[in-house]
Amino acid sequence: MRKAKEHTDELSYLRREAARLLVRGERPSSVARAMSINQSTIYRWMALPEFQAYLRELDAERERLILISITSATANAFEPPTFDFYEELRRLVPRALKQLAALLDCENPRIRLKVATLILGLNGFVPPSRVPLPVPKGPPLGAERLRLYEADLAREGRSLPPAAVTFKD
């Protein structure tokens, strides 16, 4: 049985791909599984000088790119957004308001309620969930009367506090 000729001047596509995965931190067993090759092949490649050189080259490039991204991120982190950014936001406000207005007419009552609550909240109004609800006084409510009262509250976007429901059938 003839052995396959080793590439000394250029690495094969499979070896380059295995090297990329190894440099990204994958274990040799994971690389072998991902590439559908035997794990011993990965270890054999890792022993080759040209493969080791390629790994060092890839690792150095990876570190260089990380350093560049960290340097540019920290350099830009303290710069305020440009005027164009704020101008773009101002330009989008009318479209956003039109979309919110359209959602107020949506068929889904939950969406209508959320949009209305958002709009009211942005204007300083207290959301309905934070407004204390009146608790009916007097004898316990009958089951039917309680359901009607809850339905009225639901139409207003409110509900009974848990402690207010004391009726048992």
Give residue limits of the domains in the chain: 13-77, 83-159
Question: pTM for this one?
Answer: 0.39
Give residue-wise pLDDT tens across range 110-125.
778 888 877 777 776 6
DSSP 167: -
| Rounded Cα gap, residues 105 and 146, in angstroms | 29
169 pLDDT band, cuts 50/70/90, is: very low
pLDDT value at residue 156? 82
Contact 43, 28 (CB under 8 A): yes
* 8-26 confidence digits (pLDDT tens): 445 788 999 999 899 888 8
- What is the tens place of the pLDDT at every residue in 49-82? 999 999 999 988 888 887 777 776 666 656 665 5
Q: What is the CA radius of gyration of the chain?
A: 33
